[in-house]
Amino acid sequence: MKRLYEGFKTGIFIGIIISLIFSFIVSEGTYYPMNPHSLMGEIYAQNLDDLQIFIVVLAIWGMIGILFSFGDMIFSHTDMSVTMSTVTHFSLMLLVFFPLAILAGWFPFTAEGLVTFITLFVIIYTVIWLIARTRHKTLVDDINEKLNKGKEK
Residue pair 61/16 in contact by the 8 Å Cβ criterion? yes
Count Cα neighbours of 5 within 13 Å in the Cβ-side half-sphere: 2
The Cα–Cα gap between 36 and 46 comes to 10
State whether residue 49 is helix, strand or coil: coil
The Cα–Cα gap between 27 and 100 comes to 23
pLDDT of residue 153: 61
pLDDT of residue 62: 96
pLDDT of residue 43: 94
Regions of the chain short of the pLDDT cut 70: 152-153
Q: Give the DSSP letter of residue 143.
A: H
